Every structure is written in structure tokens, then in C-alpha cells.
Amino acid sequence: MTRTVTSTERALAALRELILRGQFTAGARLGEVELAERLGVSRTPVREALTRLAAEGLVELVPNRGARVASWSVAELEGVFDLRSALEPRLTGLAVPRAQPADVAALEELAAEMLTVGLPGPHQDLDALVPLNRRFHGRLVVIADQSALATALAGAIHAPIQLRNFRAYDEASLRRSLAHHVEIVAAIRAGDPTWARAVMTAHIHNARAVMLRAAREQEAS
């Protein structure tokens, strides 16, 4: 009894993955016919996928002029990180009392794996860090089980995709970021929401500093 999946869903998932993986440069035009051919469906599901991605904030939709991959100015990025720092610590705090042992184990494994591929050494692979990071933060959202918060966050977490790799991080910031994940797991294991919230706040502000620096450099060029 495999649930049949509609073309729209496939197009949506495929497109989101393409964008998140950075297959398009920020601001790149997304022609409907081109995407339709590339994904092997007609324009109709492509259009629907595009409007949904626009709602997620991944693409920008201009009437009569089609879709572009979303991009953010430095000012907008500041707003986005401001938002994240309001929402994500709160979400983390809510997740603490709800986390099951399986959740903690999963988070712990993700955090450990990120240490492996994130730190300098033979296993370093900064690109592998991106999906792991997404899964870590995504898991927290699932645990918290707050649909309103989740949808509100969805629009914000995708924002820094244009600086989507971790190459923007200097080594000190990267080590901090990886350590934060581990510490968040520790706080959850200890059942201490205040601790978890605090670390998440630091985590986001650390990322904010890195991203804004990178965005400023990029904007200056």
C-alpha cells in the first residue's frame, strides 16, 4: 500500500532540494518550461511547486515575470536572524521536556557526526555539514511539536542559503558552532530548558555574526 505521490509533490521536493543544494545561484531565473522539462512534468505542477516554495521563502515570485531564487540584502538578513533568535531558542526550550530518549540519541549522533566532518582533519567535508545541520535543527522542530512556531520558523531558516556552505565560517566560529550542538544535546539530556535556550541563542548569534560579515563582503564586491 505505497502511498501514491503526485507530480506536484515530486516537483516540489526536487526543486527544494536543487535550491537547497545550491544548484542555482541566488537570484537565478527559474523559467517554468525549463523546470518542467528538467523535472519531467508539465508546467502546471511546476507552477504549484513554485508558489509553495515562494510561501516557504525559497523563491521570489513576481507577477508576469516569473520566479527567481530568493536572495536577501544585508538588512533583510539582519531581520531574519533577529527573528530566528526570537523563535528558535523558544522552540528549543519547548523541546526539552518533550524529548524522548530516541530523540536525544538521534541529536547526539548528528552532533557527533558534525564534529567529525566539521573539524580540520582527514574527514573534514564542509559540504556534508549542511544536510546534517538541517537535520539537527529540523529534529528539534519535530520534537517541540509546535506547528505555529514551526511554520513561522520555516520562512527564516532558509534565508542564509546563498551563503549556504560553512566556508564562510572562520575556524573559531566553526568550532563554537559545532560545540553548541553538542552542548544543546547535553542541556536536553539534563532536562534544563533555560540552558538549552541560552546555548541556542548563542548558536544563532554566532551564526549571525559569520553570515552578516560574509554578506557584507559579498555585497561590497
What is the contact surface with a copy of itself in residues (CB under 8 A)?
Answer: 6, 9, 47-48, 51-52, 54-57, 63-64, 76, 79-80, 82-83, 86-87, 90, 146-149, 151-153, 155-156, 159
- 146, 137, 152: which is closest to 196 by C-alpha? 137
Where does this chain touch DNA (CB under 7 A) — which range of 62-70, 78-86, 153-161, 175-183? 62-70
* Torsion-angle region of 125 (φ positive above 0: left; ψ -120 to 50: alpha; else: beta): beta
Q: What is the smallest separation between the CB atom of 55 and DNA, expressed in angstroms?
A: 15
Q: Does 41 bind DNA (CB under 7 A)?
A: yes
3 state SS of 215: helix
Q: Is residue 124 close enough to count as binding DNA by CB under 7 A?
A: no
CB of 140 to DNA, least distance (A): 30
Q: What are phi and psi of 29, to 5 degrees?
A: -75, 140
Q: For residue 218, what are the contacts with CB-CB under 8 A and spacing of at least 6?
A: 163
Give the residues lining the site for DNA (CB under 7 A).
4, 6-9, 29-33, 41-45, 47-48, 63-67
